[in-house]
Amino acid sequence: MFSFNLKKTDGRARLGQITTAHGIIDTPVFMPVGTAGTIKAMTADSVRTTGAQIILGNTYHLMLRPGADRVHHLGGLHEMVDWPGPILTDSGGFQVMSLKGLRSMTEHGVTFKSHIDGSLHELTPESSMEIQKKLDATITMAFDECTPYPAKKEQAAISMALSMRWATRSKDAFIERPGYGLFGIVQGSIYEDLRQESVESLLPLDTEGLAIGGLAVGEGQELMFSTLDFTTPMLPIQKPRYLMGVGKPDDLVGAVARGVDMFDCVLPTRSGRTGQAWTWRGQVNLRNARHKDDTRPLDESCSCPACRNHSRAYIHHLVRSDEMLGAMLLTWHNIQFFQDLMKGMRDAISTESFNKFQAGFEATYRGGDIQAL
């Protein structure tokens, strides 16, 4: 059975556990993004050492390369990528939205040209469900249109209504199996009444969870938080809540404080490939010359190999020399930090000390890394 157990609340912050066909997920949780079937610069074993319980794959990228049929032939994503634990797959809606000039959209679905070779493809709610089943996604996302920002209310309303019709078709096409789940996606941009209408459209579908889409698309943290302030109270208490594509560490803490359970973002891995580390004292740019003679670890409290075995000076050298080990070590550190941050929040909720945790985190994080010298 796919189930969600809300174990404790502390204010609006929630401690829970999702049971799936592929294992347990403790929430709040951050899902490392393996867009094309790999957490970039990481092995599956190294991802597991960070405490990650679930990873994310992407329908759009995997349908183009290596192809859903091939993934199915290779045993599904779990077997192919050596990840027996839960996997969530994004439906492809966000990526298709990003293909400006390369797509056309109708009520039926979206026709688009591959960014790889220009070949023509179509995604519909039905084909997205079929592809995600072939990938063997533990959690399947309904096919939607991710409303861009900024969007006038009329545009956001039309986009949301289309996504709700597609959600119904996604539900109809989804093949239920024990321990697998489908999540609907709440749209409506920054407009409270549109978000309410979206939730009311999704509730009769009784999907296993609900995601909040259409945020982290350029609106900024303040507007994202204000949208969450009125959106999360609309959602069912006994279903997991997933904020898609978020985000920075302070985004995660603020969203957990507002009742969100699940997150994903490419930030930890993308930052690792560009010389950036995330720490309890904020972001650290290892390209900066101030690190060239620094014998300290990135973060004294971190147990990852980058912090345990290497100095900032060495990682600075790797980054400036464009050595691939630099990206590997920084990515490992970033994934570890994000997992440690989520565990810290889970522990704080369990002891009803989340407000104290949040205040301490924000004070240290905003203080910056330079003050740690």
Residues assigned a catalytic role: 90, 264
User: For residue 269, what are the CA distances in angstroms to 35, 244, 314, 368?
Assistant: 11, 16, 19, 21
User: For residue 69, what are the CA distances in angstroms to 73, 76, 281, 359?
Assistant: 6, 9, 45, 49
Helix H or strand E encompassing 17: strand 13-20
170 and 143 Cβ atoms separated by less than 8 Å: yes
* DSSP at 372: G
Burial of 238 (0-12, 13-18, 19+ CB in 10 A): exposed
Phi, psi of 201 (to 5 degrees): -75, -35
The string of DSSP letters for 24-59 reads EEEESEEEEB-TTSS-TT--HHHHHHTT---EEEEH
Residue 358 is encoded by which pair of tokens? Answer: 């949040």
User: For residue 353, what are the CA distances in angstroms to 8, 254, 328, 329, 365?
Assistant: 12, 15, 34, 32, 18
205 and 164 Cβ atoms separated by less than 8 Å: no
- Looking at residue 11, its amino acid is G
195: three-class secondary structure by DSSP: helix
* DSSP at 143: P
Spell out where 127-281 has E strands.
Answer: 139-141, 181-186, 209-212, 241-243, 262-265, 276-279
End-to-end CA distance of the chain: 51
285: three-class secondary structure by DSSP: strand
180: three-class secondary structure by DSSP: coil
Phi, psi of 282 (to 5 degrees): 100, -160
Residue 54 is encoded by which pair of tokens? Answer: 């679930």
22 and 87 Cβ atoms separated by less than 8 Å: yes
